[in-house]
Chains A and B, each alone.
Chain A
Amino acid sequence: MDQSNDLSTLRMVGISKRFPGVLANDNIDFEVKAGQVHGILGENGAGKTTLMKILYGLHQPDSGEIFLNGKKVEIHSPKAAGDLGIGMVHQHFMLIENLTALENVVLGLPTKHPPLLDLEPARNRFNELTKEYDLHLTPSSPVWSLPVGDQQWLEILKLLFRNAKLLILDEPTAVLAPKQAKQLLSTVRRFAQEGRAIIFISHKLEEMKEVVDCVTVLRDGHVVGTVDPKEVQSAQLAQMMVGRDVFLDRRERAPYKDKKEVLVIEHLDCLNDRKLPALRKIDLTVKSGEIVGVAGVDGNGQRELAECITGLRQFTGGTIHINQKPVDGVINDTTLLGYIPEDRHKTGLVLKFTVEENLILKTFEELPYTKRGIIQWHEIRQKADALIKEYDIRTPNSMVPVNHLSGGNQQKVVVARELSNKPALLISSQPTRGLDLGAVESVHNFLLKERNRGAAVLFISTELSEVLTLSDRIIVMFNGEIMGDLNAEKVDVNLIGELMLGHREGLEATP
Chain B
Amino acid sequence: MDLNSINDFLAAAIRMAAPLMLVGIGGVFTERSGIFNIGMEGTMLIGCMVSVYVSLVTGNLWLATLAAMLVGSLIGLIHAFLTVTRRADQIVTGAAINLFALGITNLLNSQLYAGFEYRPRVTMYPIVAPEVLQELPFIGPILFAQPVIVYLAFLLPVLATWILYKTSWGLNIRAVGDHPHAVATAGLSVNKLKYQGVIISGMFAGLGGAALVLADLGLFATGMTAGRGFAVLAALVVGKWNPVLVAAACILFGAADAFQLRAQTAQFAIPYQLFVMLPYLLTIAALAGLVGRTVGPKTVGKPYDPESI
The answer to whether the Cβ of A195 comes within 8 Å of any Cβ in the partner chain is: no
* Cα distance A99–B183 in the bound complex, in angstroms: 12
Of A78, A82, A115, the residue contacting B167 (CB under 8 A) is A115
- Given the known A-B contacts A58-B309, A115-B167, are A78 and B185 also in contact in the complex, defined by CB atoms under 8 Å? yes
Least distance between B186 CB and chain A CB atoms (Å):
3
B186, A99: Cβ atoms closer than 8 Å: no
Chain A residues in 8 Å Cβ range of B187: 77-79, 81-82, 108
B175, A99: Cβ atoms closer than 8 Å: yes
Least distance between A26 CB and chain B CB atoms (Å):
19
The answer to whether the Cβ of A117 comes within 8 Å of any Cβ in the partner chain is: yes
Chain A residues in 8 Å Cβ range of B181: 94
- Give B65-93 as 1s and 0s: 1 = Cβ < 8 Å from A's Cβ atoms: 00000000000000000000000000000
The answer to whether the Cβ of A97 comes within 8 Å of any Cβ in the partner chain is: yes
Least distance between B298 CB and chain A CB atoms (Å):
8
* Cα distance A404–B308 in the bound complex, in angstroms: 7
A115, B175: Cβ atoms closer than 8 Å: no
* Cα distance A96–B179 in the bound complex, in angstroms: 6
The answer to whether the Cβ of B151 comes within 8 Å of any Cβ in the partner chain is: no
Least distance between B308 CB and chain A CB atoms (Å):
6
The answer to whether the Cβ of B228 comes within 8 Å of any Cβ in the partner chain is: no
Least distance between A249 CB and chain B CB atoms (Å):
38
A96, B178: Cβ atoms closer than 8 Å: yes
Chain B residues in 8 Å Cβ range of A104: 182
Q: How large is the interface on A (under 10, 10 to 19, 20 to 34, 35 or more residues)?
A: 20 to 34
Q: How large is the interface on B (under 10, 10 to 19, 20 to 34, 35 or more residues)?
A: 20 to 34
**B 10-58 contacts with A by CB, 8 A:** none
* Cα distance A446–B309 in the bound complex, in angstroms: 31
The answer to whether the Cβ of A116 comes within 8 Å of any Cβ in the partner chain is: yes
Chain A residues in 8 Å Cβ range of B309: 53, 58
The answer to whether the Cβ of B172 comes within 8 Å of any Cβ in the partner chain is: yes
Chain A residues in 8 Å Cβ range of B308: 403-404
The answer to whether the Cβ of A114 comes within 8 Å of any Cβ in the partner chain is: yes
* Cα distance A79–B172 in the bound complex, in angstroms: 15
The answer to whether the Cβ of A69 comes within 8 Å of any Cβ in the partner chain is: no
* Cα distance A82–B186 in the bound complex, in angstroms: 8
Chain B residues in 8 Å Cβ range of A108: 172, 183, 186-188
* Cα distance A77–B192 in the bound complex, in angstroms: 14
Chain A residues in 8 Å Cβ range of B185: 56, 58, 78, 88, 90, 94
Chain B residues in 8 Å Cβ range of A158: 186
Least distance between B303 CB and chain A CB atoms (Å):
11
A95, B171: Cβ atoms closer than 8 Å: no
- Given the known A-B contacts A78-B186, A88-B185, A108-B183, are A96 and B168 also in contact in the complex, defined by CB atoms under 8 Å? no
The answer to whether the Cβ of A487 comes within 8 Å of any Cβ in the partner chain is: no
Of B165, B167, B175, B307, the residue contacting A107 (CB under 8 A) is B175
* Cα distance A107–B178 in the bound complex, in angstroms: 13
* Cα distance A279–B33 in the bound complex, in angstroms: 41
Give A contacts to B, CB under 8 Å.
Answer: 53, 56, 58-59, 77-79, 81-82, 88, 90, 94-99, 103-104, 106-108, 110-111, 114-117, 158, 403-404
Question: Could you write out 22 A-B pairs with CB less than 8 Å apart?
Answer: A58-B184, A58-B185, A77-B187, A78-B184, A78-B187, A81-B187, A88-B185, A94-B181, A94-B182, A96-B182, A97-B179, A99-B178, A103-B171, A106-B171, A107-B171, A107-B183, A110-B168, A115-B169, A116-B167, A117-B166, A117-B170, A404-B308
